[in-house]
Structure 1
Amino acid sequence: MSLSGKKVLVLTANYFEESELIYAVYRLREEGAEVTVASPDGAALTGKNHMSPFPVDASYDAVGANSFDAVVIPGGFAPDLVRRFPKALELVRDINAANKPVATVCHGGWVAISAGIVKGRKATAVSAIKDDMVNAGVNFVDEPVVVDGNLITSRVPADMGLWMKALIEAIRTAS
């Protein structure tokens, strides 16, 4: 069963991890999902490895949580910028409150922390933010992918295959 008819929001900013953003976007599109990449102001973005501008579909302010079936937050250093925008945090909170999949990888956990959706939940992230996750009340585990209800987390680019399989299944089965 494809993801045809499903809409996925990707929240990112400059200095994103190229492999995490590109793989997620194209893998979801390959499954038939309509993917919207959003940045703070809707402008094209540059990755942390200075990849040429990556196209963006909308600004955070131009999208609404009710329009999406899931949200994806790639890592790199972008999450430290994303979490500074109240609208981005509102989108994550609203999608989480609707029990729709919220997927983070690497430093993407920072956005989930700032959105206040991780306390008491089991999750993983890149080891560099383990202390941040634990201090936010996460039951942190060092595994390639962790699914706790609608929260799907992963550590690093090497774990992307398992993370995307879990996310795709969560989107397929979400009501």
Structure 2
Amino acid sequence: MDALIVTTDGFEDSELIYPYYRLQEAGIGMEIATPDGESVTGKIGEEMDADLSIADASESDYDLLVVPGGNAPEDLRIEAEESIDLVREFDESGKPIASVCHGAQLLISADILEDREATGFWAIQVDIENAGATFVDEECVVDDNLITARYPADLPAWLSTVLDRVEAQPAAAD
């Protein structure tokens, strides 16, 4: 079982670090993809090394996609169009996409929210709704393969749901 986190500078530190280590603790292989394959720094200064560039990431190599929030999702939409393609590929495959807070901005750009339920940070509620989704103000919202959360306080419930979901699915072919 392997998971991929897509991010860039300005990620919300806890929204990347908590799933990164919690999923590893559960025995899930973790990799971080950034636009240039270089290390990135969070909003409060946490530096994380990248394993590969987003352009080199392939949906077929992973069982789960994690999209942390902060400023990173907005920047990914602008500087790394391949991140949008990757989200679409995960959605088309039916593999889980776990997004928290502003991570929903990447889901919006990938145009995968039409007729679905999702949550995210309150300030992007109208964006989520304009993308065709029903915004649900709950700590964790599941709609088919999408698992979304609002903000850092929701991380425990969100990760518990993510782990339940990935443990129930077959692993990607190696």
- Aligned residue number for residue 154 of structure 2: 159
Structure-1 separation of matches of 2:97 and 2:163: 11
Matches within 5 A, 1:128-147: 128-147=123-142
2:98 pairs with 96, 103, 108, which one? 103
For the residue of structure 1 that corresponds to 2:137, the secondary structure is coil
Cα offsets for 1:13-63 (capped at 9, x unmatched)? 000000010001000000001111010001111111123x21111110111
**RMSD over aligned Cα, in angstroms?**
0.8
Structure-2 separation of matches of 1:144 and 1:61: 31
2:122 pairs with 103, 122, 127, which one? 127
Structure-2 separation of matches of 1:139 and 1:54: 33
2:52 pairs with 47, 52, 58, which one? 58
Structure-2 separation of matches of 1:38 and 1:102: 15
Structure-2 separation of matches of 1:92 and 1:110: 11
Structure-2 separation of matches of 1:161 and 1:14: 24
Cα offsets for 1:100-137 (capped at 9, x unmatched)? 00010000000000011111100100101101101111
How much has 1:174 moved relative to structure 2?
2.0
How much has 1:90 moved relative to structure 2?
1.0
Does residue 83 (structure 1) correspond to residue 103 (structure 2)? The answer is no
Q: Which runs of 5 or more structure 2 residues have no equivalent in the other structure? A: none
Structure-2 separation of matches of 1:36 and 1:96: 19
2:67 pairs with 52, 73, 77, which one? 73
Cα offsets for 1:67-104 (capped at 9, x unmatched)? 11010000011000112222111111111111000010
For the residue of structure 2 that corresponds to 1:125, the secondary structure is coil
Q: Which amino acid aligns with 2:82?
A: K
- Percent identity, aligned pairs only, is 41
How much has 1:140 moved relative to structure 2?
0.5
Aligned residues: 169
Q: Which runs of 5 or more structure 1 residues have no equivalent in the other structure? A: 1-5
